[in-house]
């Protein structure tokens, strides 16, 4: 397999997305680096509160498991807007992480701030014109190479389960049973209901599907 070269922010985001298999949301992603080689990729949820030395040290401890790592590339994925002249989103967290990494002999090589539609260098001023649209990742060389190899990036890491049809089938069955009861003699229907309830109260097991449908009806 030919080595891949990350040259641009779009390349970096494409690499992260394909490595993780999904697009992060409200997350901190860190990649360990040794000279010009990429090491481990770590993603964690952003803290609810700004800063947090314990949070930063936990992240640094995970990254330190890569004993060859000398530096780190990070990306902050957040919907929090970046305001000119104001601290960057999660600035205290990144400051704490910088200190925690330094304690373990690692430095931060570079950082990215990834919003809903754009990406900028984390230390750049929004007015410097370094903002790129996220759609640039679709045309990056790294993305093209991963797609060629059969890789895809899911919108989230949440598993989407198929909609259950059991509830609708049960509702239809209850409606059918109600219609049947309406055609019965009232005394006969009442006697069947009493027998059913008596049986359920005396039973030592849960009712089966047919009994449940009859109980609801």
Strands 71-77, 27-34: parallel, antiparallel or unpaired by DSSP?
A: antiparallel
> Residue 215: is it exposed, middle or buried by C-beta count within 10 angstroms (0-12/13-18/19+)?
middle
The pLDDT score that the predictor gives to residue 155 is 81
Residue 40 to residues 29, 31, 76, 90, 112, Cα–Cα distance (Å): 11, 6, 17, 22, 17
Confidence band, pLDDT 50/70/90 cuts, at residue 165: low
pTM over 0.75: no
3-state SS, residue 156: coil
Nearest Cα to Cα of residue 105 among 134, 64, 133: 64
Q: What are the two backbone dihedrals, phi and then psi, of residue 203, each rounded to the nearest 5 degrees?
A: -75, 155
Rounded Cα–Cα distance for residues 95 and 98 (Å): 5
> Binning pLDDT at 50, 70 and 90, where does residue 76 land?
very high
Residue 216 Cα to chain centre, angstroms? 39
Task: Supply φ then ψ for residue 121, to 5 degrees.
Answer: -60, 135
DSSP structure string for 91-125: HHHHHHHHHHHHHTT-EEEEEEEE-SSEEEETTS-
Specify the pLDDT at position 127: 67
Q: Where does 9-148 sit in CATH, by number? A: 3.40.140.10
pLDDT at 51: 61
In this predicted structure, which of 14-18, 20-24, 173-177 has the lowest mean pLDDT? Answer: 173-177
Q: What share of the chain in percent tops pLDDT 70?
A: 92
Where do the structural domains in the chain lie, given as residue ranges? 9-148, 166-216
Average pLDDT over residues 162-169: 67
- Mean pLDDT across the chain: 87
d(CA 93, CA 49): 9
Confidence at 206, pLDDT banded by 50, 70, 90: confident
Give 103's pLDDT tier (boundaries 50, 70, 90): very high
């Amino acid at each position: 397999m030919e080595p891949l070269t990350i040259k641009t922010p779009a390349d970096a985001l494409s690499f992260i997305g394909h490595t993780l298999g999904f697009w992060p949301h409200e997350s901190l992603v860190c990649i360990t680096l040794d000279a010009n080689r990429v090491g481990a990729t770590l993603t964690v949820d952003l803290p609810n509160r700004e800063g947090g030395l314990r949070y930063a040290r936990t992240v640094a401890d995970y990254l330190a498991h890569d004993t060859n790592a000398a530096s780190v590339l990070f990306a902050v994925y957040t919907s929090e807007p970046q305001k000119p002249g104001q601290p960057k989103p999660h600035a205290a967290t990144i400051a704490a992480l910088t200190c925690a990494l330094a304690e373990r002999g690692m430095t931060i090589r570079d950082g990215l701030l990834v919003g809903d539609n754009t990406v900028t260098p984390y230390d750049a001023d929004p007015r410097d014109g370094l903002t790129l649209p996220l759609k640039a990742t679709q045309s990056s060389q790294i993305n093209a190479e991963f797609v060629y190899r059969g890789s895809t990036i899911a919108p989230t890491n949440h598993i989407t389960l198929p909609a259950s049809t059991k509830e609708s089938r049960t509702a239809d069955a209850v409606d059918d049973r109600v219609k049947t009861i309406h055609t019965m003699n009232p005394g006969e229907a009442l006697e069947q209901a009493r027998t059913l309830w008596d049986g359920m109260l005396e039973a030592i097991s849960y009712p089966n599907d047919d009994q449940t449908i009859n109980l609801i009806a």
